[in-house]
Amino acid sequence: MNPKIKKPNNSSSKKVTVSVLSVFLVFVFVNTFFYPSFYSDSGSIRRNLVDSRESFHFPGNFRKTKVYMYELPTNFTYGVIEQHGGEKSDDVTGLKYPGHQHMHEWYLYSDLTRPEVKRVGSPIVRVFDPAEADLFYVSAFSSLSLIVDSGRPGFGYSDEEMQESLVSWLESQEWWRRNNGRDHVIVAGDPNALKRVMDRVKNAVLLVTDFDRLRADQGSLVKDVIIPYSHRIDAYEGELGVKQRTNLLFFMGNRYRKDGGKVRDLLFKLLEKEEDVVIKRGTQSRENMRAVKQGMHTSKFCLHLAGDTSFACRLFDAIASLCVPVIVSDGIELPFEDVIDYRKFSIFLRRDAALKPGFVVKKLRKVKPGKILKYQKVMKEVRRYFDYTHINGSVNEIWRQVTKKIPLIKLMINREKRMIKRDGSDPQCSCLCSNQTGIIHGV
């Protein structure tokens, strides 16, 4: 052995691993025994994904989570809608939130502003005294702010200034400072929403659609909640089966993306000449949305390709259309996987396999009509989870997911308070169980 080469010291990495594992095991134990599933049908979905019962009854000993929603200055909410419209209004609260794929922030805000009697089946209750709250919800329209800034650059609005002023406002609040924001919930749906200030809010429970833009010390599969995009097309209500679905495969979207989406151009070249495959470029115009609806409603399979990130809204358009998703997006993280097994209605393909000439269409042509029908039946049962307008849909499920974080939040708060001094090399447990395995699933 060369005497100049020292053996690596693994004691530090072992220390980190043991610490992280210990905290995670405690979280699992507490969560399993003290926070069981709230819905009677959620448990049945874990056992049998096609159980269609929808009950809003809670166990007798269940206490709803108390959520306090900040009364934010209007420039973080309705003021952003005003900026989007480009016109001043005497009463901004009468403005209509514009429809787009990031409407989750509007639906969550609207849910907390409606009368409690109308919040059927919700696992949370809004409280107006912050001293009573279990969690604090920050209702800023961060995704819309990003859209406003990118839509009309140079007209005087700055999303970066909005982000900075929002976090400065939060850091001035007693309840944020009390636990360094750990018991706060912040929606950051767009992959770039709150990007500038993410390091200052990363202790909070983040509601995100994509993990790709979050560093390992910012996002976590344990701490945060993956939420669905708001689907943009009408749900398919016709007959199940393949009779009305004349296309084998459908995709419509941007052909050229950044590094993460280079596979799109390659697959376009492989698939665009197939006789019963519809794959074409298209933006989110009204005319194209009608074409997407027609294409998805008349296709057996719908392609989901990684774009700038691994996640895209067309996955939920496909589910609403009962068009079997074919997912070519290595490392994708999906919403609500504690109650939904996506393998029961989706086909996952590895990128390297999908790029082999003829592989995709050959595999899909082998799927028999009976199998497609089974996929469709499961999609019909689970698509309420991805519907923000459903009485027991995305909004209630997001709140259920958030409520399950409370044991970990309390653990981290108590742990942090008793820590006298943390060495810079010690593990920062805000990022427990982030997706760093590098495992790729699929055919």
Question: Do residues 217 and 202 lie in contact, with contact meaning Cβ atoms separated by under 8 Å?
Answer: yes
What are the structure tokens assigned to 184, written together? Answer: 């706060």
Q: 249 with 326: CB under 8 angstroms? A: yes
Residue 53: its pLDDT value, please?
A: 39
Q: Tell how strand 299-305 and strand 247-253 pair up.
A: parallel
Res 137 pLDDT > 70: yes
Mean of the per-residue pLDDT values for the chain? Answer: 83
Residue indicated by tokens 């929002």: 166
Which range, of 29-38, 170-179, 184-193, averages the lowest pLDDT? 29-38
Cβ-based neighbours of 270, under 8 Å, separated by 6 or more: 355, 357, 358, 360
Give me the sheet containing 299-305, strands edge to edge: 277-281, 247-253, 299-305, 324-328, 347-348
Check residue 115 and give its pLDDT: 93
Q: What residue type is 216 in one-letter code?
A: A
Q: What is the C-alpha radius of gyration for the chain, rounded to an integer number of angstroms?
A: 23
Cα separation of 186 and 225, whole Å? 10
Report how far apart, in Å, the C-alpha atoms of 146 and of each of 34, 272, 329, 427 are.
39, 33, 25, 32
Q: Which residues of 240-258 are buried (b: 16+ CB within 10 A; e: fewer)?
A: bebeebebbbbbbbbbebe
Q: Is the pLDDT of residue 36 over 70?
A: no
Percent of the chain whose pLDDT exceeds 70: 77
Residue with token string 């309420």? 384
Q: Beta strand pairing status for 184-187 and 135-138?
A: parallel
Rounded to two decimals, the pTM is 0.83
Confidence of residue 404 (pLDDT cuts 50, 70, 90): very high
> Which pLDDT belongs to residue 241?
95
Q: What is the pLDDT of residue 87?
A: 78
d(CA 321, CA 291): 13
CB 227 within 8 A of CB 210: no
Arithmetic mean of pLDDT, 158-165:
95
Closest to 203 (Cα-Cα) out of 17, 397, 413, 15: 413
Q: Considering only residues 272 and 37, tell me which one the structure prediction assigns the higher pLDDT.
A: 272
pLDDT band at 391 (very low <50, low <70, confident <90, very high): very high
- Give the pLDDT mean for 68-96: 91
**Per-residue tokens: 73:** 């200055």
**pLDDT at site 100:** 80
Average pLDDT over residues 73-91: 90
Binned at pLDDT 50, 70 and 90, residue 417 comes out as confident
Spatial contact of 145 and 79, defined as CB atoms under 8 Å apart: no
Is residue 422 pLDDT above 80, yes or no? no
pLDDT number for residue 151: 67
The C-alpha atoms of residue 168 and residue 238 are separated, in whole angstroms, by: 51
Please name each of the domains of the chain with its CATH number. 65-226 (no CATH), 247-384 (3.40.50.2000)
Rounded distance between C-alpha atoms, residue 8 and residue 157, angstroms = 51
At 139, is the pLDDT very low, low, confident or very high (cuts 50, 70, 90)?
Answer: very high
Strand partners, 125: 66
The answer to whether the beta carbons of residues 190 and 142 sit under 8 Å apart is yes
pLDDT at 4 exceeding the cut of 50:
no
Nearest to 175, CA basis, from 68, 333, 286, 304: 68
Segment 199-212 mean pLDDT: 92
Per-residue pLDDT reduced to its tens digit, 332-361: 899 999 999 999 999 999 989 999 999 999
pLDDT of residue 52: 38
pLDDT-derived band at 442 (thresholds 50, 70, 90) equals: low
